[in-house]
Copies of this chain bind each other. A is one copy, B any other.
Amino acid sequence: MHLDQWEVAAIDLFLNAANSFGLPKSYGQIYGLLFCRDLPLAMDEVMELLNISKGSASQGLRALRQLGAISSVFAPGDRKERFVAEIRLRKLVGGFLREQADPHLDKGVARLKQIETLLVDLDDSDSCKRGNRRHEILSGWHRQMSRLLPWVKMIVGKSDRLPAKNKN
């Protein structure tokens, strides 16, 4: 049981990618390993191949499934749960946006409301005016980000099924 060199490199690629998306390294490693493999892997195989602990493997696999980045299959006549990577970029991006971006936008709405509240009972009219201008700007940003996300999902999915027209 071992990893090929190119698999090590690919896993490292995903490790770094996870990091830059704000996810733990181990999530990237686990996804990367499953991405490389054709056959589903069980938790103990993931642990052994990556040299990570039971806890990391268990939590990582759960989080990745929650993100829609992996899914599990049960081999008939076997108690073990085995995992495979989702490789459609559209699904990966969609899951990430749903679990990470959308909640942030929601929190943003709440915070904007809070600022409104603080602005209402404020007698310093200069600060109030300034605050209202800022509130408008933030609302505009929020609106634009909300508009953007659907486009991202759309554009990324676009050529999943289109074969490349030419070879360069």
Give A residues with C-beta under 8 Å from B: 4-7, 9-10, 12-13, 16-17, 20, 22, 35-38, 87, 89, 100, 104, 107-108, 111-112, 114-115, 118-119, 122, 124, 127, 130-131, 134, 137-138, 140-141, 144-145, 147-148, 151-152, 155-156, 158-159, 164
Contacts and interface: CB of A to CB of B under 8 A. Distances in A.
Contacts of A6: 115, 118-119, 122, 127, 131
17 contacts: A4-B127, A4-B131, A6-B119, A6-B127, A9-B111, A9-B115, A9-B118, A10-B138, A16-B111, A17-B104, A17-B108, A20-B104, A36-B130, A144-B159, A147-B155, A148-B152, A148-B155
A45 B112 CA distance: 26
A100 B111 CA distance: 26
B134 A36 contact: yes
Contacts of A137: 87
